[in-house]
Every structure is written in structure tokens, then in C-alpha cells.
Chain A
């Protein structure tokens, strides 16, 4: 569906490099998988290029559930993008 906004949230050094903690965007129609999304975001500006320089290490959660890069995005309310976790 065209024109539907999705909330993107960023954490840790991804957040710092893209320069914001969240935003609402309309995803292009040809962005269907998680990897499509990372590659599309990466070419948006220098901040995203720095944050997503190595997209294979970046973790993504759709509505707070971890997903693989091959996953179809579908229509989540919230997409989170962050580095490998270092809690504990």
C-alpha cells in the first residue's frame, strides 16, 4: 500500500551515526525484504552510509521481534535497527 508511514527506531552506534533515534518514513514499494531496507537506507545519506557500512552485522527487529535479513518486511508498525547486543 502506497503512502503508509512506518516508524523506524535506531539504537546505540547506529542511532549516533544516523543522527536520530527515530523517524517515520514511507518505504519504497520495491523494498520488500529486510536486506532491501538496509541497502535502501544505506544510500540515503552519509550518516546511514556510515551506520550501515557492513549491513550483514546489523540486527533488525519488526515490531520488537528479531528477524533474519531474508525476512519479508510485511506491514509492521515499528522497525528497529541496531548493532549486535552487548548486555548482561
Chain B
């Protein structure tokens, strides 16, 4: 279950950042801060043809919701939206979106970053890289920096 103001979507389709921001802020006069993070697929110097994102349906949503619910408990966040895509994604395309709204900027910045950090280490998604040169596709290795980023919120 999500806390009030938390929306999580795991989908294969692309998303519209501007439209999502409007949905969170339209008609509101109490929101003073909107922090948006979007993660894009890098082309790695034109060597990457596409990313293939695998996920664990159900648990992917529940882990992101757990992180988002923890964020709204920790900071005075008004609205929190997280969208994560799966399937085939090509360079330049969007992968993930986090939007946090609040009265003031600190809660919005911190909340968005907290969700991204936990999502990286706890949400069951895996990236496979398909190369332009036709080499065998390979799974992306997890990064120690991501583990450290999550630990800093403890």
C-alpha cells in the first residue's frame, strides 16, 4: 500500500515528464518546490545499441513503494511520483523518473534522491547491454558506489 501522495508505476511505455509535473502541481498554491530526476539511457560513445531491462513484476513495484513511503515519512513531501520502465530502451530514451513536490526545496531534493538511491540497490531490475558491434549482449555489473549511496541515508 502506498501512502497518500505516493504514485509508483512500472511500465514499458515512455512517460511525459512535463505532463506528470503538471499533474502534481496543477491548481496548487501550497507547493513551493518541485525536484525532478530523470535517468536516461546513455549511448556509451555510440557503442550501445539498446538496453534490455528485466524486472520482477510485483516486487519491483513494492520495493519502489517502500522507498517512496519511507521518504514521505522522513520529509514533509507533498507528492511523490516514481515511474520506472522495463523492456527495450535505446540511447537517449528515458528509463526512470522521480518527482518530489514540497513546500520547500530541501524535502523535495532529499526525497527524490533518497528514492533514487534505494531504487538502485533494492528494486529488482537488471540491465542488459546490446552492442552496436554485435558482440554478445552482457549484463551490467552492480556498482559499489550505489551501495555506498544507499548506506548514507541510514
Contact = CB atoms under 8 A, between A and B. Distances in A.
A86 B56 contact: no
A3 interface: no
Contacts of B142: 83-86
A64 B119 contact: no
B59 A86 contact: no
A64 B58 CA distance: 8
B39 A11 contact: no
B56 A80 contact: yes
Interface in B99-154: 116, 119-128, 139-142, 146
Contacts of B84: 87-88
Interface in A35-76: 61, 64, 66
A83 B124 CA distance: 9
B36 interface: no
A12 interface: yes
Contacts of B122: 66, 85
Contacts of A9: 56
B1 to A, nearest CB: 14
Interface string B52-63: 011110111011
A66 B116 CA distance: 18
B56 A88 contact: no
A64 to B, nearest CB: 4
A64 B59 contact: yes
B96 interface: yes
A54 B54 CA distance: 22
Contacts of A64: 56, 58-59, 62
Interface of A: 9, 11-13, 61, 64, 66, 80, 82-88
